[in-house]
Amino acid sequence: MRLPWVIFCTVLLLIFTNNSNADIPGCNYYDTVDISYIERQNDSYLYDDIEIPASLTGYYEFRQFGDGSITPIEKHLRACVCSVRPCIRICCPAKNFLANGKCDDGLKEELARFKPYIYFTYMDLQARVPLTDMAIIRDEFFDCDEMIYISDFNYFLEEDGKFWVTVDLFMEKQDYCLYRHNFDSDFPKSMWIIRHRCTSHISPGSLEILIITMICFVLTIAVYLYIKKLRNVTGKCIVCCIVSRFIQCLIMILDHLNLLNGICSPAGYSSHFFRMASNLWLSVISYHTWKVLTSLNRVDPNYRFLRYNAFVWSTAAIMTGSIYIVNQIWENDPSKWNWLPLVGFIRCSVKDWHPSVWIYISGPSLALSTFNVAMFALTAIYIRKVKGGINKFTNEEEGRINCINFDSQTYLQFLRLSIVMGLTWIFNVIPYSARLHIFWEWVGIISEYFHSAFGIVLFVLLVLKRSTWTLMMDS
């Protein structure tokens, strides 16, 4: 059933592409800008003081990325601005994008102050063009972006936007953009440019799964708060973990829908805070579960949950505060760009593709996941030992010898423990380089879908079980 849908969507995209290209004859998609928010004046549109005739405009119902992929979006009006003036692409962080597509990072004022220019090469001749006389296209940052430093005029910029770094290496107009903090140095002799090496898209169905997951999160929280016997230390820790994960998912969805304009950076730091908090809560649950099951004293002191709270929230705050300080100190230094957390640049979240991710996300997550695996192993060994002792005692009482068998309830208990103790989250720290291998690529895809549906899994294993329903009936 899936193949016909794929063919159908592909045909629609081709139709959209052909129609849109026909609207602006001879104009490349990457030479256009969104002018939906600009009112028509007589027979033209005024884009950044550039008058664009209506004949160079057209309606588009898709968005095209540098890798050639196309995504259907709401119908909007675009103008072929590069047919009127030479264009230059300058990156704009996600946190500075406005709802109308403009960028409020103060670039206009900086260009007016420094009056930078650039050389275009055409037919072995060079033309000096001030940036203030060009059409500025504010480009986005993408995953896998790489900062490149070019010195001593070791480049050629053609009029059509093709950028030659060496004789054998060039980038098309859609593959790069100039870095914002460039023009107070010795530009254009040397410059920093962003090379778009890849573009990532949300996996099909992930958004819908996240929405269902959030609904299941709310239902699970409601059940745990409603049933008094579940409001013990373990239950409270589970609720705190779910709340943290719920807020993280909510920010992810709003970010994907471009609804965080104006609060992108605060949302990004909040997302990182609750992401770390949810991981820490999983480790706390793992430790507490092991502690309770292996302890003779099953009474939970009231102060224990308060200690867990102090540990989780303070640790998550320190982790978030550290990346905030790094961003604030190094954000204007292009030489440090590759090692920045980049909150609010690519998306309203911490980047997750560079080796530096081991400092901000993968390293701490791997340490916590390893701890969770160790706690689960110790707990499973203890349960196996206890079950084995009971089975051995029962067999001796009955005067027969039998192998130690685990019933389905025991296996289901192990499954619940593995989920609640965060055993599966270790797959989220697979190195980016390893994901290039086909096996790890599939492991990453399965892990992404599974953890998108984490709330659904929790709801099924924790709420839709017989003991929980019995407690609900008795409450």
13 and 113 inside one domain:
no
Q: Are residues 35 and 91 in the same domain?
A: no
CATH number for the domain spanning 10: value is: 2.30.160.11
Residue 282 and residue 425 share a domain: yes
Alpha-carbon distance of 369 to 279, in angstroms, equals 8
Same domain, 250 and 172: no
Looking at the structure, tell me whether residues 89 and 42 fall in a common domain.
Answer: no
As for how many domains the chain has, the answer is 3
On whether the CB atoms of residues 242 and 221 are closer than 8 A, the answer is yes
Last residue of a domain, one of 164, 185, 201: 201
Whether residue 391 sits in one domain with residue 304 = yes
Residues 218, 287 within the same domain: yes
Q: Which two tokens stand for residue 22?
A: 């026909």
CA–CA distance, 212 with 443 (Å, rounded to integer): 22
What domain range is 60 assigned to?
A: 1-84
Distance of CA 4 to the CA centre of its chain: 30
Distance, in Å, from the CA atom of 216 to the CA atom of 211, rounded to the nearest integer, reads: 9
pLDDT at 210: 93
Say if residue 291 is in the same domain as residue 390. Answer: yes
Question: Based on the domain organization, do 14 and 127 belong to the same domain?
Answer: no
pLDDT of residue 316: 96
Residue 348 has a CB neighbour count (10 Å cut-off) of 27
Task: Give the residues across from 157 on adjacent strands.
Answer: 163
Residues 169, 213 within the same domain: no
Domain boundary among 84, 104, 133: 84
By DSSP bridging, strand 146-150 and strand 191-195 are: antiparallel
Question: How confident is the prediction along the chain (475 residues), in pLDDT tens digits per residue?
Answer: 444 444 344 444 444 444 434 468 889 899 999 998 888 888 899 988 899 999 999 999 988 887 777 888 888 999 999 999 989 999 999 888 887 778 888 898 889 898 999 988 877 778 889 998 899 999 888 888 888 898 888 888 888 888 888 767 789 988 999 998 888 778 888 899 999 887 776 778 888 999 999 999 999 999 999 998 899 999 999 999 999 999 999 999 998 888 888 899 999 999 999 999 999 999 999 999 898 888 766 666 778 899 999 999 999 999 999 999 998 888 888 888 888 898 988 888 888 777 778 888 888 888 998 999 999 989 888 888 876 666 665 555 454 444 444 456 666 777 888 888 888 888 777 655 455 566 667 777 788 888 889 999 999 989 988 888 888 888 7
pTM of the model: 0.83
Helix, strand, coil % over all residues of the chain, rounded to 5:
55, 15, 30
In angstroms, how far is CA 57 from the centroid of its own chain?
33
Answer with the one of 157, 177, 201 that is the final residue of a domain: 201
Phi, psi of 117 (to 5 degrees): -140, 170
In terms of domains, do 95 and 234 share one?
no
